[in-house]
Structure 1
Amino acid sequence: MNISTYCFTATALTLTTFAANAKINVTDDISLSGFGSTSITQSDNATPLYVNREITDDTCYDCDTTFGLQGDIRFNDSFNASVQIVKRPQDEWSSPELEWAYLGYNVSDFNLKVGRLRLPLFLSSEYYYVGQAYTSARPPQEVYNSILGITSYDGISGTWDIEINDESYLTLTPYVGVESKGEVNIRTTNYDFDIEKTFGFHSEVSGFDYRVMFNYAHFKYAVDVTLPGIPTQQYPADNINIYTVGLEKSWDKLMLTTEVLVDTMHFNWYSSLAYNMDKFTPYVTYAESHHNQKNNSLLFGVRYDLTTTISLNAEWKYTDANSGDNGELIADPVDGDLDAQLYTVMVNFIF
């Protein structure tokens, strides 16, 4: 599965069509591709914003830095393999993450994958770290960051592609995961997740100018919490069911994107409008978080496509935890200030 095939939004809006040569063909059956993002960003609040990024009022040059390499091998018409390694924003350059590594089998309209796979929770899950593939600098954090940056699972999935008519397709993907580990650091607190069980069902209906997605995922997990100077606290296993719904719809140069995530801890959603004007695409996004993390935000931005493989984003975002909760601030406010303005200039590229 090549990175260059992931850009539904950009194709529908004629934003940035990934170039056919946005990869290196080692042989006829082996290819190497890559992607990256980096930014200059700053908030007007000293309290860090966003898990895995921790943006403060100090100008940050590496809070969003991402770099990934992907290798694809086609053994024959049926068997293929893919590996993707990513230095995520929270990773050191010396310790990137194996985001996926799977063996695939294709027959007729059915595709089977076994290995480490991407969790298909969101519209942009498959290309979550490929900043060039979506309009804004980051996917809306109220939804995409609600699961603390856990983006993959170890297991198996099967996908059926069903042609509804000449213009519409239905995709059905059940998936099951085996026991796996996950780790999230929030400031000085470390969370070690033991994910004992994963299973879910992803479905999608798509056509020339629209895409509708529904996903259900169930996780059974236990977590150990470690704070400096305090013995590790072990919490018993718990279950969570996550439901997500997404919609993309274009009208010529105008694109609407909206997604909702619901579980026992969240009711989060966003809606975004983007309008393409040749190389420029201005966009606006409004988002809300409810239940455990109450927050609302408004974002204005513009994307500029330098080439088919390089883009720039400039954004301003206002976020407000008006309920008295911390919202998108990931620690208790330093001065009691629960709102923040976030400024971002980002560059994205693929090859």
Structure 2
Amino acid sequence: MKTRVHAIALGVAAAVLGTSAFAADSDEERIKKLEQQVTVLQAQQKSADPLDRFHINGFASVGMGIASEDLGYAGYKDDDVHFSPDSMAALQVSFDINSKAQAVVQIVARGEDDWDPEFEWAYVSYQFDNGVTARGGRLRAPVFMLSDYLEVGYAYSFARPSVEVYESLPISTLDGFDLRIPVALGDTTLTFQPFVGETTIEADNLENDTDVDNILGLAVELDWSDFNFRTSYATSELKEESESSIVDGADGTFLGFGAGWDNGDWVVMGEWTRIEVDGLYPDTDSYYVSAGYRYNDLTPYVMVSGLESQDDDERAIPIPGIRSSADIERMSYSLGLRWDFAAGMAVKFDATLVDDFGDTSGGFPANSVALPVGGGSTIPVVAPDAIKIDDVALYSVVFDVIF
């Protein structure tokens, strides 16, 4: 390639040498001009190289933990040491199509899914001259404060996002389109993010996969000094092909508010969400508040989270002392320490206590029993005086890295 560039440069120089102006130059000046031509052509050749338009980075977490009870909280299902629930690895590749357009692919493999790779992001974006960015493809559902970097553990102080808030919504991505519309207001930036799309909730506790169609929403984010505020609202329609489905044809709505403060030393964050689904599926309110203080390479932190169903009367069972297992109430309290022991690497030590279930299952199937309702059918219920487990403690260590 260098030979070709030099040949082109020599050809250009030869053409210039034929002019009377260049003929009057000294040999030293001729050599200097030739070197300048070579430098320009090499720079042009480099900028045209497609490999220079690729950008590759990634992140990973390796965790280990043990729970005091077999409730499945945060993915820890018994009192043995497990390494899968908090472990994952991701690779992100972006390609600059031109100065305004970009293609992005992010592949994530999670330990709890047997390390099967999945496309978490796969979209094309285009930035207009007015600063508006349009994206289409597979995107993160932009409903939470941490949505854009949900699994980048290195990006936040705590070991994992609040289970009560972030696992109450069983989707994290959607296939569709969104816009990012920034509006400058003095020293403040207000960003509007409308989005549309669809996704699927893969069967776990449900009998079949659930399609989430006609997602339509708007997120609004305000950045001001050390503060960040975010609110989001979305609607959707649920479809599940099952005769016993309690969500097929139901409309679902999401409402969320969040705020954060980071002055370099203190980092404080909190969110509140409400999820409503027509019918017997529980409507829930959830929240968390976290605070951490950076002291050199150490960041001790605390987090308090809560989750509670709001429509228990719609699932009332006409048997004294019996409640639907979908009635949920619980709190969690986390205390931890983050240590940034090397550039791009951190380790977090976390202890979390989950309790205050009231007379509900706490949202854990292990606390429910099957109640016969005739015809060979059963429904999961809770008898408050027969709750098997009323609290669980989780101790974990998580290593986070970005590269």
Q: TM-score, length-normalised on structure 1?
A: 0.84
Structure 1 284/65 Cα, relative in aligned 2: closer, same or farther at 3 Å? same
1:320 aligned to 2:355?
yes
The answer for the alignment partner of 1:272 in structure 2 is 290
| Maintained 8 Å contact 2:366/2:388 | no
Flag the 1:330–1:133 CA change in 2: closer, same or farther, 3 A. Answer: farther
Provide the residue aligned with 2:176 in structure 1: 155
Once the two structures are superposed, residues 157-210 of structure 1 have per-residue CA deviations (whole angstroms, 9 ceiling, x without a partner) of 111111111x310000101114x4330424xx5541112211100100003311
Give the AA of the match of 2:308.
H
Q: Does the alignment pair 1:65 with 2:87?
A: yes
**DSSP-derived class of the 1:290 partner:** strand
Q: With a CA cutoff of 8 Å and minimum separation of 6, indicate the structure with the bigger relative contact order.
A: 1
Distance in 2 between the 1:350 and 1:159 partners?
25
Q: Does 2:57 match 1:33?
A: yes
Deviation digits for residues 44-101 of structure 1, max 9, x if unmatched? 1122213xx24321111212111111100111111111011111343222x2221110
Give the partner amino acid of 2:253. N
Distance 2:181 2:342 in 1: 35
Cα contact 1:55–1:63 (8 A) shared by 2: no
Partners of 2:123 and 2:264 lie apart in 1 by: 37
**Structure 1 residues 344, 333: closer, same or farther in 2, change over 3 A?**
farther
Which residue of the partner structure matches residue 176 of structure 1? Answer: 196
What amino acid sits opposite 1:203 in the alignment?
Answer: V
In the alignment, the residues of structure 1 paired with residue 90 and residue 392 of structure 2 have an alpha-carbon distance, to the nearest angstrom, of 30
> Which TM-score applies when normalising by structure 2?
0.74
Residue-pair matches, total: 314
Equivalent in 226, 234, 242 of residue 217 of structure 1: 234
Provide the rounded CA distance (Å) in 2 between the counterparts of 1:339 and 1:62.
Answer: 22
SS of residue paired to 2:175 = strand
Q: Work out whether residues 41 and 55 of structure 1, in 8 Å CA contact, stay in contact via their aligned partners in 2.
A: no
Which residue number in structure 2 is paired with residue 4 of structure 1? none
Aligned-residue offset at 1:313? 0.4
| Secondary structure in 1 matching 2:51 | coil
C-alpha change, 1:319 and 1:344, in structure 2 (3 Å) is: same
Q: Distance in 1 between matches of 2:168 and 2:208?
A: 15
Corresponding residue to 2:328 among 285, 293, 296: 293
By percentage of residues, which structure has more strand? 1
> How far does residue 126 in structure 1 lie from its aligned partner after superposition?
0.5
SS at match of 1:185: coil
C-alpha distance after superposition, 1:135-171 (max 9, x if no partner): 11100111011012x1000111111111111x31000
Q: Indicate which of 204, 211, 221 corresponds to 1:194.
A: 211
- Runs of at least 5 residues in structure 1 that lack an aligned partner in the other structure: 1-25, 226-230
* Mapped pair 1:241 → 2:241: no
Residue 20 of structure 1 corresponds to which residue in structure 2? none
Unaligned runs of 5+ in 2: 1-49, 277-282, 310-326, 370-386
Distance in 1, matches of 2:266 and 2:195, equals 34
> Which of 81, 92, 97 does residue 114 from structure 2 map onto?
92
Distance between the aligned counterparts of 1:33 and 1:199, measured in 2? 31
The residue identity in structure 1 corresponding to 2:195 is Y
Q: Residue by residue, what CA displacement relative to the aligned partner does 1:275-331 show, whole Å, maximum 9, x if unpaired?
A: 000100000001111114211111100000122311100000111143122225343
Higher helix share: 2
My pick for the range that moved more, 31-40 or 55-64, is: 55-64
For 1:299, give the aligned amino acid. S
Aligned to 1:336: 388
In structure 2, relative to structure 1, the CA distance for the partners of 1:217 and 1:283 (3 Å cut) is: same
Separation in structure 2 between the aligned mates of residue 242 and residue 338 of structure 1, nearest angstrom: 29
Q: Secondary structure of the residue that 1:147 maps to in structure 2?
A: coil
RMSD across aligned positions (CA): 2.1
